[in-house]
């Protein structure tokens, strides 16, 4: 697990070193810089496999140079194939396998890879750079290209060129709480979309982004329910085993949910010794899952560590959140994630997680809304708009009803899109409808539940959940591996009949039936809480003064798209306890902190509060 950097801009080695040191939490074990002709490569290493210095990067082989972030879980299989072709190896690392695999197969190597990765390989003979990002965007990849000047990095902060705010990205952020790929907060700086390669020809000064993987319409497999359950169980076992390849101690995150319980249970059967598990809870019982997690740990026999996240912890971590995420990011669960990784790092360097199960197996509460989408065409638009106006914006149905959509007001897909984006009435009229141009949206399955799951993956998982996990773990130099994100599981899940995953409101049916082999159903059959924080109450109480001091008139006027009077009204109503608008208020607050941290706040001495 690492941080990478590459540029063709003339730059002193000391300047590159300073750039890398700004994100050294991604790889505290080694900082490497190498110049190859007119290119400069930088690398930060968090050692997980082959801890020897021989595996440091940048790594070279003949006319190739690589910088690589991530893990290739099936590198041993690929290595065996390369040895049969006559290649020899000097290390036991997956980096060398990547490098020599590219030498042999070129871009055809990428579909062979099972892992989480972002890498750049320079061919000094052709003067071309080949880059790739894993199928689901577990590892980040940013690049800037303007007037022939290139910068590539694992995070935004070291990319020094062209830092002008992209107003359209602000619009996306206020809609979603994150900025979806390929966009970033800055003009002329982009995320390489998951499942894509980037090919750069330095001599011709051209680049091209090419997709190598996406979600596709697939036929159902002809398996009985029990056969499908057995196959999925075996795929999960394989995904866990392959992710336990490491030369450092490992653990597993354990919440009160189904997914982490299943991954931890499988890991406990694979490991020779009792595994270490880690959970986080809250003082508010409505949000706290720590007691359930402790019960799971007792059943599977793990060495369990539990910590409680308080409002005072949140206040202390907000500056760190703004710094490590680089651009506005408003998933408030990133804060307890930061704390959980901090505690985890005291015991292990690598940890398994249950991320990804909700997306493929219909785990989120909003999947219960989907059956109503077919009925939306029979409700006049003015009635839907009227209904939305009297409901709280934090109720997903209200967001679905109020969102004006990318197709038309009478569309069932409009309803589904509203699950993921919303708050139109808090924003001014926009000429740019970003979602209508968003390629990830155009993947609809014929089945609405599957279409919703696909959009969950292309919007939420890739741009929110995976970003949160990467930044929160890397902030404390912890590597997180997620078996549910194995592409074999993602693809197999999409071949299963809907009824295997969701039946009569029972979400994750097949996962729950597998989990029963490890944990009694009466223990895990609990209402879903999700990894949420008691933000609404904190804003009204412990964090109230912090929000009032940052949500100033001076700042609010710097957001051209924001309907300031409307926002001030909902903030007032929230503080009075009349509605829960915490999600959108948090987005504006984080944007304020980001403006301050990165020097875009036009008035650093505000004096008029809401």
Q: Say what the pLDDT of residue 51 is.
A: 55
Q: Say what the pLDDT of residue 488 is.
A: 96
Q: How confident is the model at residue 443 (pLDDT cuts 50, 70, 90)?
A: low
In a domain, 310, yes or no: yes
Known binding residues for ATP are 280, 353-354
> Which range among 168-182, 384-398, 452-466, 513-527 shows the weakest confidence by mean pLDDT?
384-398
Q: Are residues 132 and 230 in the same domain?
A: no
Residue 265 has pLDDT above 90, yes or no: yes
Tokens 């979309």 locate to 193
Q: Which helix (H) or strand (E) holds 189?
A: strand 189-191
Q: Say what the pLDDT of residue 46 is.
A: 64
- Identify the domain boundary among 493, 524, 555: 524
Residue 156 has pLDDT above 90, yes or no: yes
In a domain, 217, yes or no: no
Q: Say what the pLDDT of residue 604 is.
A: 46
Q: CA angle, 354 as apex, 350 and 356 as ends, to 5°?
A: 120
Q: Which helix (H) or strand (E) holds 21?
A: helix 13-21
Q: What percent of the chain lies above the pLDDT cut of 90?
A: 60
Strand order in the sheet with 250-253: 303-309, 276-282, 250-253, 350-352, 479-481
Q: Which domain holds residue 491?
A: 225-362+454-524
Look up the CATH number of the domain holding residue 104.
Answer: 3.60.20.10
Whole-angstrom Cα distance, residue 145 to residue 164?
Answer: 14
Beta bridge partners of 21: none
Distance set, CA 314 to CA 336, 518, 535 (Å): 8, 35, 10
Tokens 């540029």 locate to 7
Q: Are residues 264 and 295 in the same domain?
A: yes
Look up the CATH number of the domain holding residue 288.
Answer: 3.40.50.620
Residue 288 has pLDDT above 60, yes or no: yes
Distance set, CA 587 to CA 287, 328, 430 (Å): 20, 8, 19
Contact 485, 136 (CB under 8 A): yes
Q: Classify the C-alpha dihedral 40-45-49-53 as positive or negative.
A: positive
Provide the 3-class DSSP secondary structure of residue 264.
helix
Q: Are residues 410 and 503 in the same domain?
A: no
- The more confidently predicted of residues 246 and 603 is 246
Q: Say what the pLDDT of residue 495 is.
A: 93
Question: In total, how many domains does the chain have?
Answer: 4
> Which range among 153-157, 538-542, 557-561 shows the weakest confidence by mean pLDDT?
557-561
List CB contacts of 395: < 8 A, sequence separation 6 or more: none
In a domain, 216, yes or no: no
Q: Which helix (H) or strand (E) holds 398?
A: helix 396-402
Q: Say what the pLDDT of residue 306 is.
A: 95
Q: Are residues 375 and 298 in the same domain?
A: no
Q: Say what the pLDDT of residue 406 is.
A: 33
Task: Answer yes or no: 176 catalytic.
Answer: no
Whole-angstrom Cα distance, residue 279 to residue 290?
Answer: 7
Known binding residues for L-glutamine are 94
* Averaged pLDDT, 203-209: 95
Provide the 3-class DSSP secondary structure of residue 609.
strand
Q: Say what the pLDDT of residue 608 is.
A: 33
Q: Say what the pLDDT of residue 392 is.
A: 44
Q: How confident is the model at residue 449 (pLDDT cuts 50, 70, 90)?
A: confident
Q: What is the DSSP string of 465-500?
A: IHHHHHHHHHTTT-EEE-GGG-HHHHHHHTTS-HHH
Joined tokens for residue 261: 């319980």
Contact 399, 379 (CB under 8 A): no
Q: Are residues 85 and 117 in the same domain?
A: yes
Residue 527 has pLDDT above 90, yes or no: no
Residue 78: exposure state from Cβ atoms within 10 A (0-12, 13-18, ≥19): buried
CA-CA-CA-CA torsion for 284, 285, 288, 294, nearest 10 degrees?
130
Model pLDDT for residues 217-261, shown as the tens digit of each residue: 777 788 999 999 999 999 999 999 999 987 778 999 999 999 999
The catalytic position among 2, 131, 153, 309 is: 2
Q: Say what the pLDDT of residue 438 is.
A: 57
* Averaged pLDDT, 12-29: 85
Q: How confident is the model at residue 403 (pLDDT cuts 50, 70, 90)?
A: very low
Beta bridge partners of 2: 45
Q: Are residues 296 and 318 in the same domain?
A: yes
pTM confidence score:
0.90
Q: CA angle, 496 as apex, 490 and 497 as ends, to 5°?
A: 140
Q: Say what the pLDDT of residue 260 is.
A: 96
Q: Are residues 151 and 237 in the same domain?
A: no
Model pLDDT for residues 55-99, shown as the tens digit of each residue: 577 899 999 999 999 999 999 999 999 999 999 999 988 999 999
Q: Are residues 59 and 155 in the same domain?
A: yes
- Identify the domain boundary among 393, 421, 448: 448
- Identify the domain boundary among 423, 448, 473: 448
DSSP H helices, 34-132, are 75-84, 94-105
Joined tokens for residue 126: 């052709």
* Averaged pLDDT, 271-300: 91
In a domain, 609, yes or no: no
């Amino acid at each position: 697990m690492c941080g990478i950097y590459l540029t063709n801009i003339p730059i002193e080695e000391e300047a590159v070193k300073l750039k890398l040191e700004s994100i050294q939490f991604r790889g505290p074990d080694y900082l490497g810089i190498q110049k190859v002709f007119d290119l400069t490569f930088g690398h930060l290493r968090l050692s997980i496999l082959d801890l020897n210095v021989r595996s440091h990067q940048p790594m070279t082989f003949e006319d190739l140079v690589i910088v690589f972030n991530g893990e290739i879980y099936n590198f041993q299989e690929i290595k065996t194939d390369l040895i049969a072709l006559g290649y020899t190896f000097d290390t036991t690392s997956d980096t060398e396998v990547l490098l020599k695999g590219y030498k042999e197969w070129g871009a055809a190597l990428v579909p062979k890879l099972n892992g989480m990765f972002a890498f750049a390989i320079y061919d000094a003979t052709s003067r071309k750079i080949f880059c790739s990002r894993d199928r689901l965007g577990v590892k980040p990849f940013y690049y800037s290209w303007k007037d022939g000047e290139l910068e590539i990095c694992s995070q935004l902060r070291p990319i020094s060129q062209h830092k002008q705010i992209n107003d359209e990205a602000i619009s996306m952020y206020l809609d979603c709480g994150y900025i979806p790929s390929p966009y970033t907060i800055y003009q002329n700086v982009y995320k390489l979309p998951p499942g894509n390669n980037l090919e750069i020809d330095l001599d011709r000064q051209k680049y091209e982004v090419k997709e190598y993987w996406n979600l596709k319409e697939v036929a159902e497999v002809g398996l009985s329910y029990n056969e499908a359950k057995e196959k999925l169980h075996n795929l999960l076992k394989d995904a866990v085993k392959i992710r336990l390849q490491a030369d450092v101690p490992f653990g597993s995150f354990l919440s009160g949910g189904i997914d982490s319980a299943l991954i931890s249970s499988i890991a406990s059967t694979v490991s020779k010794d009792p595994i270490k598990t880690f959970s986080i809870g809250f003082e508010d019982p409505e949000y706290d899952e720590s007691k359930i997690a402790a019960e799971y740990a007792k059943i599977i026999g793990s060495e369990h560590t539990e910590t409680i996240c308080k409002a005072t912890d949140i206040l202390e971590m907000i500056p760190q959140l703004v710094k490590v995420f680089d651009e506005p990011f408003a998933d408030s669960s990133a804060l307890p994630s930061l704390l959980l990784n901090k505690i985890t790092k005291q015991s292990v360097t690598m940890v398994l997680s249950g991320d990804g199960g909700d997306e493929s197996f219909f785990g989120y509460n909003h999947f219960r809304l989907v059956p109503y989408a077919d009925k939306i065409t029979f409700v006049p638009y003015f009635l839907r708009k009227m209904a939305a106006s009297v409901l709280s914006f934090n109720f997903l149905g209200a967001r679905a009803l109020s969102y004006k959509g990318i197709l038309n007001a009478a569309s069932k897909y409009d309803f589904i899109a509203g699950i993921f984006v919303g708050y139109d009435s808090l924003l001014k009229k926009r000429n740019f409808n970003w979602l209508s141009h968003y390629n990830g949206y155009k993947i609809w399955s014929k089945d609405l539940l599957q279409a919703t799951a696909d959009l969950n993956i292309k919007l939420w998982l890739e741009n929110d959940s995976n970003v949160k996990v990467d930044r929160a773990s890397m902030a404390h130099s912890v590597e997180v591996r997620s078996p549910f994100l194995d592409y074999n599981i993602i693809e197999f899940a999409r071949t299963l009949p809907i009824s295997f995953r969701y039946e009569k409101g029972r979400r994750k049916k097949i996962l729950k039936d597998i989990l029963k082999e490890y944990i009694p159903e009466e223990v895990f059959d609990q209402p879903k809480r999700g990894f949420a924080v008691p933000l609404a109450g904190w804003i009204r109480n412990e964090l109230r003064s912090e929000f009032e001091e940052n949500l100033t008139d001076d700042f609010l006027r710097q957001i051209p798209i924001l309907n300031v009077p409307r926002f001030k009204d909902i903030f007032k109503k929230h503080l009075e306890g009349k509605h829960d608008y915490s999600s959108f208020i948090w987005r504006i607050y984080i944007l304020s902190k980001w403006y301050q941290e990165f020097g875009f706040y036009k008035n650093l001495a505000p004096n008029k509060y809401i």
